[in-house]
Amino acid sequence: MPLVGTGDILASSPHGAGAFNVILLEHATAIVAGAEAAGLPVILQISENCVRYHGALEPIAAASLAVARAAKVPVSVHLDHATDRALVEQAVELGVGSVMFDASALSDEENVAQTASVAEWCHARGVWVEAELGEVGGKDGVHAPGARTKPHEAVDYVARTGVDALAVAVGSSHAMTTKDAVLDLGLIAELRAAVPVPLVLHGSSGVPDETLREAVRHGMKKINIATHLNKAFTGAVREHLAANPSNVDPRKYVKAGREAVAREVEHLLGVLG
């Protein structure tokens, strides 16, 4: 199955598309294994924080692209929450087909100016662009989950920047380890009716399954999940080591984490699809 674009996955999916963050190679292989088990496409995301952890983009990007190309279902590779334009340009040069440029910490005018410039540069190279208006709850401790995107501001932002998708604040919060986020479904429906590009839900790890289903029904298209998978991975590793205290072979306990992530991805894609 050839590597595909994120925009192609969103356009071909009648429901929600799962976008899961890669930290290690094992995350990429587990996410694709889960997608293959579900028989559904999937988006592999590499965040700026992940790049910082590895010390460079190319190793984890090259690995993710290789995993995507070998998959039995459509898979795209996406750069997530990039605040550095140079990182965006490097990702495009490496073959990453979509990026999320995050200028949300800047003033509104500077956000629009920088995002529009990045979108123009990316579009000239056939690359799909996601952006964020304001800041989704919980990111860097800036906002509580009460942050909300105003529909008229979202429409104006998309028109002025030319982006292909918009991350909106509707009640979710980044890095949640409990599933008790309350989404504003009415606002999602308002945004979907007003905004001409796909809507993206960040901070979805804290959203209960049924609420995720409702968010998709009300208009969310791309659903980003990271912390929930890390929690599953870490829990499985801890369980394996507790049951096998003499084990020193990382392949055995990392395998347990990889299998746990694959199961969660299969389940979550079923929820969204």
Residue pair 68/32 in contact (Cβ under 8 Å)? The answer is yes
Please tell me the total number of residues recorded for the chain in this structure: 273
Residue pair 189/209 in contact (Cβ under 8 Å)? The answer is no
Q: What H or E segment, with its residue span, contains residue 89? A: helix 85-94
Residue 13 Cα distances to 4, 17, 215, 273, angstroms: 13, 7, 15, 8
Q: Is 8 a catalytic residue?
A: no
Q: What H or E segment, with its residue span, contains residue 167? A: strand 165-167
CA separation for the pair 268, 219 (Å, rounded): 17
Residue pair 210/179 in contact (Cβ under 8 Å)? The answer is no
241: amino acid identity, one letter: L
Between helices 227-243 and 25-38, what is the axis angle to 10°?
100
DSSP assigned state of 19? E
In the set 80, 102, 164, 184, the catalytic residue is 80
DSSP assigned state of 179? S
What positions carry a catalytic annotation?
80
